[in-house]
Structure 1
Amino acid sequence: MKKSIFLLYIFVVMNNISCGQKTDNDVQLPKENTFTADLLVDDLEIPWGMAFLPDGAILITEKAGELLLFKDGLKTQISGLPNIYNRGQGGLLDIELHPNYEDNGWIYFTYASEEGEEKGGHTALMRAKIENNSLINKELLYKASPNTTKGQHFGSRIEFDDQGFLFFSIGERGERDINPQNIQLDGGKIYRLNDDGSIPADNPFVADATAKSAIYTYGNRNPQGMTKNPETGDIWIHEHGPQGGDEINIIKKGANYGWPLITYGINYSGTPITDKTEMEGMEQPIHYWDPSIAPSGMTFVTSDKYPTWKGNLLVGSLSFQYLERLGIEGDKVVYREKLMEDIGRVRNVRQGPDGYIYVAVEGKGIYKLIPN
């Protein structure tokens, strides 16, 4: 296996700090001097998701439709995946273990699926178990509809909260004026299920017979980052905005996050989407990026291995090809720093059970960050 070691010097970037919401009081955090980025898993194209097994192995999803098991320096392909609709931003997406995986063996993954009467695909959620390097006991828990041949905004990340509820995201599939503000339609939403795919009795729209009862929030654009705040237990997401206006949001039951009626971004052509950045009854982001960084993947740092990063939020940037470290005080972003500059399109970042940070980079692989 190829091994590549890069010594990356970290420097502080204080520009653009005022572009985010509630970041007026900038705070200088202590600086980490250096770390080593060790290319642990090489030869990956678009490593979308990763999950860490109790024996130290890593499950890795390749967007094109491969599920890989990395253990002891070797990659093994896991067979038995459903048909994957690999188009545009769609494909095999995120993967997550059940909180009680050691007892029940369930893994959960999202993917673009052609299942349905319409041509094209839409985001689906499945759970399964692994036996002899193959998926067994496969259960389709959710399939968004209707299918469309559009290639954008499938989402999708997965996270469990402290109560064992399963959250996952689906982007608005390029139908911004149709899907995100309509709770009768899939897309542009965060969903909440029980671990078996059933609908929690206290989901916000279960009493509305016309609504998609799995919906937990709406008015979202294309969330490709989701993580649990270890201090509060809240689910945090980030989502791609248009040109300008990528957001970090804290998920609240039944909340409307405004897309496309309010936004801090504009059309890619430079024309306005709306003149409104806030409206009554719609949530404000706790932070937004302008210019957009195209965020993908996020994790809170809880490990003692990075003392000055503890409590910080790490976010990957696809556009600018770096890992961003954000200092957090309560629900405020007070500090920003670029790490791993020019490393490539950062697709995902996770903290492993060993306390180390793992960063997935398109066209390269998965790096393990080792403090010096």
Structure 2
Amino acid sequence: MLQTFRISLMAALLVSASPALAEYTTTVISDELEYPWGMEMLPDGRILVTEQTGALRIINTEGELVEEPIANVPEAWVEGHGGLFDVKLAPDFADSNRIYLSYACGTRKNSSTCLARALFAGDTLNEVEEIFRSSPGREGSAHYGGRFTFLADNTLVMGLGDGFDYREQAQNPENHIGSVVRLNMDGSIPANNPFVGLSHAAPETYSYGHRNVQGIVYDPQSDRLYTNEHGPKGGDELNLMRAGANYGWPLITGGVDYNNARITPYQQLPGMTSPLLEWTPSIAPSGMTLYRGDAFGDWRGDFFVSALAAKKVQRVRLAGNRVIEQEDLFTELDRRIRYVYTGADGYLYLLTDQQNGELIRVTPKGEHHE
């Protein structure tokens, strides 16, 4: 069982007080985005940004937000936590022009998390195709997950949520509630998924026992997959993913309910995987990147976890399965940070969670940018 690294309030304060390894400058590229959620950099330097309110936007190479949203985007169900979520270029985008989008779909009485793919044609999407819809649908508008990434074997994994009111179902691998699913690029089921052929589990399921997966990163150098997820009041987690594993929610957690009631007396149980790192008090993790760029040499190989409630990005350094260093970054912005992204240029990019949402570029201090 993995050793869990828990942060007490005093430890968190000590982390915040540690000096930065790298000095940086933050520059607001755009402050005209409406609750931005995900982003992806195009090969020509333009940036795709999803707005939770349902629009897919382009920021051009001059840093200007193109006035008209991209047309023919799948219709997202926008309410509560629902909306348009993540965007990713297909690994073969240079040849296929294909992009992938995740979003909430359905109605308040019957909503799910959907994944679609389409051909990117500049100002519109063509051949839009829904390739996955989580099952069963549920009532309400909370905890959809929605982050996804691609693996080296031409499959993709997407994190889902427990729907808030359905948390016990996260322990039921027969459905997609509170799970991570793994799909082929066309939405079909990989033959080597851990539960294929079993009558008691959904064949798309890669892992289960999650509350609300909000960050997901694949490291091709180590062939490891990592996620982060919201706990309740406390108990946010950074997890190393293993096929077929049960991550314990709601039977194990370091958090309590929002009324301070104890959810479970257990923080570890046999057969359940504990997190690499747990945040109590909650930081509300919202995105994650593994930095492999060249602009910040001191940060290479570190994880960056964006946080909503804590209004920061947490830098996390691992040695194997052990957390050896943490640092609070960008607290001076005083912004709920929805996403942190490593650009092809080696810089970090931040999206802020607000109606006049910002795209912020992080560069080494002293570098000059027009």
Which TM-score applies when normalising by structure 2? 0.90
Please give the residue correspondences for 1:234-313 in structure 2 after superposition, counting only pairs within 5 Å: 234-313=224-303
- Residue matched to 1:110: 102
Query: Are 1:360 and 2:348 matched, yes or no?
Result: no
Q: 2:306 aligns with which of 293, 303, 316?
A: 316
Bigger CA drift: 228-237 or 80-89? 228-237
- Residue matched to 1:202: 192
Q: One-letter code of the match for 1:141?
A: I
SS of alignment partner, residue 171 of structure 2? coil
Query: 1 CA distance for matches of 2:87 and 2:25?
Result: 26
Q: One-letter code of the match for 2:76?
A: I
Query: 1 CA distance for matches of 2:276 and 2:6?
Result: 12
- Residue matched to 1:5: none
Does the CA-based 8 Å contact 1:158-1:168 persist in structure 2? yes
Q: One-letter code of the match for 1:145?
A: S
Query: 1 CA distance for matches of 2:122 and 2:346?
Result: 28
- Residue matched to 2:212: 222
Query: Are 1:183 and 2:176 matched, yes or no?
Result: no
Query: Deviation of residue 147 (structure 1)?
Result: 2.7
Does the CA-based 8 Å contact 2:109-2:140 persist in structure 1? no
SS of alignment partner, residue 178 of structure 1? helix
Q: One-letter code of the match for 1:48?
A: W
Query: 2 CA distance for matches of 1:216 and 1:157?
Result: 14
- Partner deviation per Cα, 1:4-33 (whole Å, 9 max, x = no partner): xxxxxxxxxxxxx7528xx9xx99998435
Q: 1:126 aligns with which of 107, 116, 119?
A: 116
SS of alignment partner, residue 129 of structure 1? strand
Q: 1:338 aligns with which of 328, 333, 340?
A: 328
- Partner deviation per Cα, 1:214-237 (whole Å, 9 max, x = no partner): 110000110000111243121100
Query: 1 CA distance for matches of 2:82 and 2:46?
Result: 26
- Residue matched to 2:339: 348
- Partner deviation per Cα, 1:105-162 (whole Å, 9 max, x = no partner): 11111100017xx834211011111224111111111111333331210001011112
SS of alignment partner, residue 48 of structure 1? strand
Q: How many residues align?
A: 350
- Partner deviation per Cα, 1:27-65 (whole Å, 9 max, x = no partner): 999843531101112212311110111111111000010
SS of alignment partner, residue 121 of structure 1? strand
- Residue matched to 2:21: 32
Please give the residue correspondences for 1:103-182 in structure 2 after superposition, counting only pairs within 5 Å: 103-114=95-106, 119-182=109-172
Query: Deviation of residue 301 (structure 1)?
Result: 1.0
Query: 2 CA distance for matches of 1:320 and 1:200?
Result: 38
Please give the residue correspondences for 1:44-83 in structure 2 after superposition, counting only pairs within 5 Å: 44-72=33-61, 73-76=63-66, 77-83=69-75
Query: Deviation of residue 91 (structure 1)?
Result: 0.4
Does the CA-based 8 Å contact 1:161-1:234 persist in structure 2? no
Which TM-score applies when normalising by structure 1? 0.89
Q: One-letter code of the match for 1:273?
A: I
Query: 1 CA distance for matches of 2:231 and 2:50?
Result: 24
Query: 2 CA distance for matches of 1:18 and 1:253?
Result: 24
The share of aligned pairs that are identical, in percent, is 37
Query: Deviation of residue 84 (structure 1)?
Result: 1.2
- Residue matched to 1:369: 362
Query: 2 CA distance for matches of 1:67 and 1:177?
Result: 31
Query: 2 CA distance for matches of 1:274 and 1:19?
Result: 19
SS of alignment partner, residue 43 of structure 1? strand
Bigger CA drift: 88-97 or 73-82? 73-82
Query: 2 CA distance for matches of 1:172 and 1:186?
Result: 9
Q: 1:89 aligns with which of 62, 78, 81?
A: 81
Does the CA-based 8 Å contact 2:152-2:220 persist in structure 1? no
Structure 2, unaligned stretches of length 5 or more? 366-370
SS of alignment partner, residue 101 of structure 2? strand
Query: Deviation of residue 320 (structure 1)?
Result: 1.4
Structure 1, unaligned stretches of length 5 or more? 1-16
- Partner deviation per Cα, 1:298-351 (whole Å, 9 max, x = no partner): 001111211111111101110011111112211222111111115211000010
Query: 1 CA distance for matches of 2:85 and 2:362?
Result: 23
SS of alignment partner, residue 278 of structure 2? strand
Bigger CA drift: 204-213 or 153-162? 204-213
SS of alignment partner, residue 135 of structure 2? coil
Query: 2 CA distance for matches of 1:186 and 1:230?
Result: 26
Q: One-letter code of the match for 1:160?
A: F
